[in-house]
Amino acid sequence: MLIISLIRRRMCIATAFTLLALTLSLVFAPSSRVLALAAGEQLTQISSDPFTNDTSQHKTEVEPDTFAFGNTIVSAFQVGRFFNGGASDIGFATSTDGGEAWSRGFLPGLTIFTGGTYDRTSDPSVAFDARHNVWMVSSLGIHALNGSVISVDVVVSRSTDGGLTWGPPVVVDNAGTTSGAFLDKNWTVCDDTASSPFYGHCYTEFDNFSSINLVQMSTSTDGGRHWLSPKTTPDKACVIGGQPLVQPNGTVIVPIDDCFETAVLSFRSTNGGKSWSKVVLAAQILSSLVSGNLRTGPLPSAEMDRSGKLYVVWQDCRFEPGCSANDIVMITSSDGLHWTLPMPIPIDLIGSGVDHFIPGLAVDRTTADESAHLGLAFYYYPHASCTIATCQLDIGFVSSTNSGNSWSSKEQLAGPMKVTWLADTSQGLMVGDYISTSFVPGDDEATPVFAVAQPPTGASRCGLLPVVCHEAMFTTPEDLLQIGGGTNVLSNGPTYSPSQHPALIRHSTF
Amino acid sequence: MEGYFKHFSFIIVALLGTSLLLLFAACGSPTTPGEGNSANFTATPTRATPLTLEIRCQDSGAGGFYVLGGGAHGRVCVQTAPGAVLTITVRFCNGAPDPSSELKRTAYADSKGYYEWNWTPQPDCKGRPIWKGDVVVKAQLHGHTTSLSASFFAD
């Protein structure tokens, strides 16, 4: 007992000195904290988790989507992340002046925490219907019982005042409520081209976990008030993570992963969503497992330029020696049927050991062809081979003014962060399965929205209350991310050959 | 936001300063044998003590049932009484129990009452990815039995 007592006393003194060090570090921290958030300029925090239910982690915000139309930018994201699926609500932040000032709030009537009936929500996606002047955020409406998710619907929240206030959710598909289905990964887009034969049609893509990840497409023609029964593709594709886009002629093209996230597929509709084509293979995916138990996957981020050309990016390791890290690779298509070969975006040298993942691509819809403006935000580790204790999570940005033929040098927007500061989930530590970047059309700057974390209060890692996490939504200040493009091109040609290193490529094992 | 940080930091510094004073005061003299709350360190349950069970990993602040790496690695952690006998059943996608051998062995909680299973899932998901998982853990000690379940949904 004497030994134990002495040990306890030493631990007590050690704890006291640790606290002293912490106190001193906090006294001198504020200036370095600001510098740590951005290279020389402070980021703009656009929201903070206000919820206090003891079943999810606070203050956490993850997984943003954005959309821009006119001078308005709307972002939406999960707030108060549950460990085993979903969040307390969807938050929004809206700028009506191109990203200079932001209004913020939380979707009403969606979950029990905001007067709604769903226990949780997830997977926000933002769209704008120009014909009906309605902003939309689609999301999952999740029912839970005794802490377990038991069914999932897809819903849409609508705003008729420019994204400043929102109504209660409208059901897109309530197969969860009615038959216990688990729907997932909804994404909504609207046909905003006045000359299109389907101007004012909105489309929500999602998949049905309970039915072999069956792809589902639901259409609304009245500003999201009502949604038609979902249709699927003739081949009943098994999918996840689609991002539908509408060409100026009204053709809807849906780049999407196969359900094992081993290929990017594509399917389309040329009749306003009455029917959908079979899927075609756009590209194989070869992604490397990201270190540090970070929750990531090679989901596509897709955008379109003025001409209707599609750009799709995802994290992929095929160009790296031994598939030891991920690049962000890009493919393009003018019709959704024929796709270019994947090419890496030259963010870092091939073989540098930098791991890039969770990309959010923006394309200026007023630009096209060889002068299309592209902006790309992404997370990265400077060293792919790291551990939960050593991984340094950063956020970077590159741009192109020539349709991706050459790119600017990487700008570090935030970091380094420890992954233990992130919300914990059953699938790993989480900033989001996706992030997003948007252009105010015709503007020369991009607006990315992403999760940034700082050290939690009450513990060394984020968790349930009484631990208070500090993971929130941030963007860059107005005028920071000028789309200057650059001269960086791929200096190393593709090196992947399927026969060279299949054993080092991590595929799903089931 | 800078003002917010300054205000926040001031509060934290004040709280930590107070904590320091209390801690240094508490550390002033060693505790002699027999003093203090040493009873708190004896975690062995008796028949009068209900057998506690929590599904939580030591390095997690939020949960204890993970499927990582796109389904390549399953992990379940429990905190219970030292020496408790543990059995586990994991089902994915409403399918049959995962037959992995790591899950079939009888396990024993360590001296701190902790145990974790790490295995490569063999899910019964009808040829599709893991989209849902359920685990049931049963603990037994000194005639007491308790069980606990947890689940996840791959949103």
> What's the confidence (pLDDT) of residue A496?
37
CB contact under 8 A, B6 and A16: no
**Percent of all residues in chain A with a pLDDT value above 90, rounded to a whole number:** 85
- Model confidence at A509, in pLDDT bands (50, 70, 90)? very low
- Dist. CA A449–CA A258, nearest whole Å: 26
CB contact under 8 A, B33 and A13: no
The CATH number assigned to the domain holding A426 equals 2.120.10.10
Is A487 within 8 Å of A78 (Cβ atoms)?
A: no
Higher-pLDDT residue of A444 and A399 is A399
Higher-pLDDT residue of B16 and A221 is A221
Summarised one tens digit per residue, pLDDT across range A31-69 is 233 334 444 579 999 999 999 999 999 999 999 999 999
> What's the confidence (pLDDT) of residue A68?
98
- In this predicted structure, the answer to whether residue A186 has a pLDDT above a threshold of 50 is yes
- Dist. CA A45–CA A477, nearest whole Å: 9
Residue A374 domain boundaries:
42-504
Closest alpha carbon to A358 in A380, A390, A341: A380
Residue A94, φ and ψ in degrees, nearest 5: -125, 135
The amino acid occupying position A169 is: P
Q: Which residues of B touch A149 (CB under 8 A)?
A: 132, 151-153, 155
Summarised one tens digit per residue, pLDDT across range A197-217 is 999 999 999 999 999 999 999
CB contact under 8 A, B20 and A23: yes
Integer distance in angstroms from the first to the last C-alpha of chain B?
32
> What's the confidence (pLDDT) of residue A327?
98
> What's the confidence (pLDDT) of residue A438?
98
Chains A, B: CB pairs < 8 Å: 178
A272: left (phi over 0), alpha (psi -120 to 50) or beta: left
- Sheet-wide strand order for A214-220: A183-190, A202-208, A214-220
CB contacts under 8 A, A 243-302 vs B, are 259-261, 289, 293, 297
The chain B residue lying nearest A241, using CA atoms, is: B155
Q: Which residues of A touch B67 (CB under 8 A)?
A: 426-427
Q: Cα B81 to chain center, whole Å?
A: 12
Tokens 């034969």 correspond to: A197
Inside any domain, residue A13: no
Q: What is the CATH number of domain B53-153?
A: 2.60.40
3-state class (DSSP) for residue A370: helix
- In this predicted structure, the answer to whether residue B86 has a pLDDT above a threshold of 90 is yes
Domain boundaries, chain B: 2-30, 53-153
The chain B residue lying nearest A426, using CA atoms, is: B66
CB contacts under 8 A, A 135-174 vs B, are 140, 142, 147-149, 152
Q: Does A207 touch chain B (CB under 8 A)?
A: no
Inside any domain, residue A10: no
Q: Cα A216 to chain center, whole Å?
A: 20
Integer distance in angstroms from the first to the last C-alpha of chain A?
52
Is A166 within 8 Å of A109 (Cβ atoms)?
A: no
- In this predicted structure, the answer to whether residue B113 has a pLDDT above a threshold of 80 is yes
Q: Which two tokens stand for residue A234?
A: 């003739």
Q: Cα distance from B155 to chain A (closest Cα, Å)?
A: 6
**Percent of all residues in chain A with a pLDDT value above 70, rounded to a whole number:** 88
Summarised one tens digit per residue, pLDDT across range A61-73 is 999 999 999 999 9
CB contacts under 8 A, A 57-86 vs B, are 57, 83-86
Inside any domain, residue A21: no
- Model confidence at A339, in pLDDT bands (50, 70, 90)? very high
- Model confidence at B31, in pLDDT bands (50, 70, 90)? very low
- Dist. CA A505–CA A287, nearest whole Å: 7
CB contact under 8 A, B62 and A508: no
Give me chain A's average pLDDT, please: 90
Please give the torsion angle defined by the CA atoms of residues A305, A316, A409 and A310, in that order, rounded to the nearest 10 degrees: 0
Inside any domain, residue A330: yes
- In this predicted structure, the answer to whether residue B32 has a pLDDT above a threshold of 60 is no
Q: What share of chain A is helix, strand, coil (3-state, %, to 5)?
A: 10, 40, 45
What number is the ipTM of this complex?
A: 0.86
> What's the confidence (pLDDT) of residue A21?
34
Evaluated on CA atoms A491, A410, A242, A299, the torsion sign reads positive
Higher-pLDDT residue of B13 and A96 is A96
Q: What angle do CA A496, A268, A298 make, to 5 degrees?
A: 35
Q: Cα distance from A427 to chain B (closest Cα, Å)?
A: 5
Count structural domains, chain A: 1
CB contact under 8 A, B2 and A30: yes
Q: Does A36 touch chain B (CB under 8 A)?
A: no
Q: What is the 3-state secondary structure (H, E, C) of A348-384?
A: CCCCCCCEEEEEEEEECCCCCHHHCCEEEEEEEECCC
> What's the confidence (pLDDT) of residue A446?
96
Higher-pLDDT residue of B32 and A186 is A186
CB neighbours of residue A236 within 10 Å: 14
